[in-house]
Amino acid sequence: MHGRLARRLVGSTMTGLTYGAAALAILPLAVILAMLLVKGTGSIDWNFFTKAAVPFGEKGGGFSHAIVGTLIVVGLACAVGVPIGVATGIFLAEFGGGRLGFTVRFVADVLNGVPSIVIGIFAWTWLVKPMGHFSALAGGCALGMILVPILARTTEEMVRLVPNSLREAALALGYPRWRTSLVVVVRTAAAGIVTGCLVAVARVAGETAPLLFTALGNQYFSTRLAGPMAALPLQIYVYALGPYDEWHRQAWAGALVLIVLVLALSLFARAVIRAKRQHA
Amino acid sequence: MTDVAATALEPEAGPRLTAEERWRALRTVSRGDVIYRSVLTILALLLPLLLVLIAAELVVNAMPALSKFGLGFLTRSTWDPVQGEFGALPLIFGTLYSSLVALVIAVPLALACAVFLTEFAPRWLRTPVGTLIELLAAVPSVIYGLWGIFVLIPLLRDHLWPVARHVLGWIPVFGGVFYGPSVLAAGVILSIMILPYIAAVSREVLLAVPPSQREAGLALGGTRWETVWRVILPYGRAGIIGAVILGLGRALGETMAVTMVIGNRHEVSASLLQPGYTIAAAIANEFAEAVSDVHLSALFLAGAVLFLITIVVNALARVLVWRVARGSAVGSTAV
């Protein structure tokens, strides 16, 4: 009986420890969100969204240039990355059975693990060096390259969820394969693909490293694609490392805006994807 | 319309065809199919092409430094942009050391989370807790860095270390004066950042363990914990190792948060409390203002080393995870 008691004791202790581990894992998220709210909300006012940065010492600077910059750079990234990523995903789901499919899938997973800073220096050699100057365009392309492998895998997963009976029904009605694929299969998976895009966009919107030597950052409001452009994560980085309390305050506010943007996108997408999986 | 079925089943064509010809006609692919497949294939080929181009570009740009410093680049500690002497040992050491610290902290926690989410948690708790853990991965790196500078480092330096020093101070890895920015701070931040990846992939691996294994363990009289420890975890071992290596890959390449808290000093120090440097952090800090061509090339060479390490690590992780859940996108949803 003693042995049995000891075993049960070990069992409940370890079970309790896993509860503790889960709580401990979530703790940083709670602490970070709380700190952002505490330190960030005080600095968010109308100026924050409407004004660009001002030289230190002047009052009333904001993050409008960085917010607009992030929207533009991420928009460019989508223009580059979404078509290629989604097409790759459809390829993997529809024709990905062979050796080529295996290779592409493997490369997608490997590229997914390549540090974003490496993508950044690659974009520099291809876009910044030949053009001779930093540009939002290069930043968008760098982020687009990060989007592609993520999208390829999520799109593949979503297209695979479409029941085969739908495909068979379309073929039986005399549709050629390409129309079956596009009109029936991909359209059925469209909601899932779009939410996959949202998750991926949420991820690249917070990327800083690939923008360091592509978009570079900018203290002024700029919408010129061929020139340096500010972005929220870049501005947070610069302000966090800066020497002034005023900058630190604004960095927290910027971080709050960024995390609200990112978490809203990914939570929304997660809810939709989860609903999709349960239906499939 | 060049429909497969329509052309094959033309009433007047039917009687004149033998069975074999009819089959061949049925298998005929319309021109649209060929175009559709070709376009998708070409777009899908861009991905492998991108990988090759990145590798080529890194090698080409790293060549001047490689031919000047040779393999000594990996073993020397001088990093002197003024004299043009570069050795990446501190960078490589710092990259591996901070990632190791992160693994030591994150792996037990992440595995416990995965076990909790698949075995012990009440059903209603699994989805919300799983989502919260995954959200850790959605927090941008720069925000972890910001939090590290203004919250974690002061916490470690002013509150935890003065207490822990009496217990741990004699251990060599906790030597020297603790100013804040350090390998320890970087390791702690990294552990928070990679935990969701390890937990998510391990969770999917554990979910892929056949229920019969679990039932057999319980039927032999094991407690639930013994079933987990002796049956389920060993069954998923390959996949769990894959998940850990995947986490390692993330930690090795993480840039912003590490740059902000590690202290950025080109020095090899065994003490966790001293500043260090990583390859990614050095590129982030020095690339845009590299003073000479050889400096730039040295950074490319360091980048190539990092690229090579992460490629190997990720390929290995993928193979291990795929062995458990073949070809499915396990872990991709953890993005």
Q: What would you measure as the largest C-alpha separation in chain B, in angstroms? A: 95
Q: Which of A115, A124, A181 sits opposite B36 (nearest CB)?
A: A181
Looking at chain A, the number of H-run helices and the number of E-run strands are 12, 0
Q: Which of A19, A84, A118 sits opposite B307 (nearest CB)?
A: A118
Length of chain B: 335
Contact B315 A110 (CB under 8 A): yes
Q: Which of A7, A156, A199 sits opposite B226 (nearest CB)?
A: A7
Architecture of the domain delimited by A46-279? Orthogonal Bundle (1.10)
Domain ranges of chain A: 4-43, 46-279
Secondary element (H or E) of residue B172 = none
Contact B255 A107 (CB under 8 A): no
Assess A6–B contact: CB distance below 8 Å, yes or no: no
pLDDT at site B56: 96
Q: Which of B4, B41, B109 sits opposite A24 (nearest CB)?
A: B109
Condensed to tens digits (0 to 9), the pLDDT of residues A13-42 reads 999 999 999 999 999 999 999 999 999 988
Assess A258–B contact: CB distance below 8 Å, yes or no: yes
B28 band by pLDDT with thresholds 50, 70 and 90: low
Contact B113 A28 (CB under 8 A): no
User: Is B243 or B172 the better-scoring residue by pLDDT?
Assistant: B243
Q: For residue B230, what are the CA distances in angstroms to A5, A19, B208, B256?
A: 18, 20, 16, 40
Contact A112 B3 (CB under 8 A): no
Portion of chain B with pLDDT greater than 70, in percent: 88
Contact A174 B5 (CB under 8 A): yes
Closest CA relative to residue B171, chosen from B273, B93, B101: B273
Grouped pLDDT means (10 residues each) for chain A, 280 residues = 81 94 95 93 84 77 89 95 95 90 93 94 93 92 95 92 90 88 90 90 93 88 87 93 89 94 89 72
Contact B335 A112 (CB under 8 A): yes
Assess A107–B contact: CB distance below 8 Å, yes or no: yes
A77-81, B74-78, B97-101: range with lowest mean pLDDT = B74-78
Contact B135 A266 (CB under 8 A): yes
Closest CA relative to residue A154, chosen from A46, A276, A22, A13: A276
Facing residues of B85 across strands?
Answer: B80
Q: How far is B78 from chain A (nearest CA, A)?
A: 23
- Tell which of A5, A17, A18 to mutate to test the B interface (max B CBs under 10 Å): A18
B18 band by pLDDT with thresholds 50, 70 and 90: low
Q: Are B39 and A184 in contact (CB under 8 A)?
A: no
Interface of A with B in 17-76 (CB under 8 A): 17-22, 24-26, 28-29, 31-32, 35-36, 39
Assess A10–B contact: CB distance below 8 Å, yes or no: yes
Looking at chain B, the number of H-run helices and the number of E-run strands are 17, 2
User: Is B7 or B295 the better-scoring residue by pLDDT?
Assistant: B295
Q: Which of A209, A212, A258 sits opposite B143 (nearest CB)?
A: A258
Query: Which are the contacts of B17, defined by CB distance < 8 A and separation ≥ 6?
Result: B25
The DSSP-derived string for B41-69 is: HHHHHHHHHHHHHHHHHHHHHHHHHHHHH
Q: How far is A117 from chain B (nearest CA, A)?
A: 7
Quick check: B332 pLDDT over 50? Answer: no
Q: What is the mean pLDDT of residues B125-150?
A: 93
pLDDT at site B333: 40
Facing residues of A216 across strands?
Answer: A229
Quick check: B331 pLDDT over 70? Answer: no
Q: For chain B, what is the mean pLDDT?
A: 87
Q: What is the mean pLDDT of residues B65-88?
A: 91
Contact A14 B225 (CB under 8 A): yes
Degrees (nearest 5) of the Cα angle A32, A118, B327? 80
Joined tokens for residue B17:
């065809």
Beta strands in A119-162 (DSSP E): none
Assess A159–B contact: CB distance below 8 Å, yes or no: no
Quick check: B327 pLDDT over 70? Answer: no
Round to whole Å and give the CA distance between B242 and B232: 16
User: Is B165 or A146 the better-scoring residue by pLDDT?
Assistant: A146
pLDDT at site B279: 96
Q: How far is A202 from chain B (nearest CA, A)?
A: 7
3-class secondary structure, B82: coil
B232 band by pLDDT with thresholds 50, 70 and 90: very high
Portion of chain B with pLDDT greater than 90, in percent: 67
Contact B195 A25 (CB under 8 A): yes
pLDDT at site A1: 46
Q: Are B58 and B300 in contact (CB under 8 A)?
A: yes
The DSSP-derived string for A200-231 is: HHHHHHT--GGGTTTTB--SS----TTS-B--
Question: What interface predicted TM-score (ipTM) does this complex get?
Answer: 0.92
B141 band by pLDDT with thresholds 50, 70 and 90: very high
Contact A240 B146 (CB under 8 A): yes
Condensed to tens digits (0 to 9), the pLDDT of residues B255-290 reads 999 999 999 999 898 899 999 999 999 999 999 888
Q: How far is A77 from chain B (nearest CA, A)?
A: 16
**B85-86 and B79-80 beta bridge pairing:** antiparallel
Torsion of CA B265, B266, B268, B271, to 10 degrees: 0
